[in-house]
């Protein structure tokens, strides 16, 4: 998979700076800061939504690492994803076969 884009989550909507980038293949770096209040303890919501392009079957583990500053003590959990691909079925072919 390849990093494509990010969208700020609701927990960082008003932050002074927020960004995500892909410094090397296999790594996405997310960071930001605010001069206002930090994210409240036990707050619910999203920090960031990352979008990837699937470019082939490979490791599907998403690992959070090197947390710093205010989020260093957060409870985190690594994730994974599964994708499915349907090959050889086109919408117009399905309808044509029903007639």
List the domain range (segments joined by +) for residue 46: 2-98
CB-CB contact of 49 with 7 (8 Å): yes
The burial class, CB within 10 Å (0-12 / 13-18 / 19+), for 48 is middle
CB-CB contact of 81 with 62 (8 Å): yes
Average pLDDT over residues 67-89: 75
* Buried-exposed string 22-35: b where 16+ CB fall within 10 A, e elsewhere: eeeeeebeeeeeee
Q: Which residue has the higher pLDDT, 82 or 23?
A: 23
Question: Is 80 exceeded by the pLDDT of residue 35?
Answer: yes
pLDDT of residue 28: 93
pLDDT of residue 95: 41
Tokens matching residue 12: 């960082």
Average pLDDT over residues 37-60: 82
pLDDT of residue 31: 94
Overall number of domains in the chain: 1
Question: Is 70 exceeded by the pLDDT of residue 63?
Answer: yes
């Amino acid at each position: 998979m390849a990093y494509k884009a990010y969208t700020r989550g609701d927990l960082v909507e008003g932050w002074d700076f927020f960004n995500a980038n892909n410094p090397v293949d296999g790594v996405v770096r997310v960071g930001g800061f605010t001069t206002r209040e930090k994210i409240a303890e036990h707050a619910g919501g999203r920090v960031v939504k990352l979008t990837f392009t699937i470019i082939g079957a490979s490791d599907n583990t998403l690992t959070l690492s090197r947390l710093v500053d205010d989020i260093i003590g957060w409870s985190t959990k690594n994730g994974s994803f599964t994708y499915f691909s349907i090959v050889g079925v086109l919408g117009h072919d399905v309808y044509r076969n029903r007639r």
